[in-house]
Amino acid sequence: TITAFKSNPRTLAGVTTIKYYLFTKTDKIHAFANIRKEFYDKYKDLIDAVVRTFTIVPPKSSGN
């Protein structure tokens, strides 16, 4: 199970940044996207869709 949170978009110097926080029982992953302001509305749904496809695979045990 992955629990995910997304920050509110923040625009600075013509670039909109959105941060994603993904948590599992053992991992914490931080992903972010920087999009030029004029393209944010066009691509925000696509970026969200890509982040939803993330799969976190735990490392294989070494067998020790």
Q: Tens digit of pLDDT per residue, the chain (64 long)? A: 788 899 999 999 999 999 999 998 888 999 999 999 999 999 999 999 998 888 887 777 776 5
Question: What pLDDT, on a 0 to 100 scale, did the predictor assign at position 64?
Answer: 57
CA-based end-to-end distance of the chain: 26
Residue 63 — left, alpha, or beta (φ > 0 → left; ψ -120 to 50 → alpha)? left
Question: What pLDDT, on a 0 to 100 scale, did the predictor assign at position 25?
Answer: 85
How far is residue 17's CA from residue 3's CA, in Å, rounded to a whole number?
20
The structural domains of the chain, with segments of one domain joined by +, span 3-52
Question: What pLDDT, on a 0 to 100 scale, did the predictor assign at position 63?
Answer: 63
Contact, 39 vs 62, CB < 8 A? no
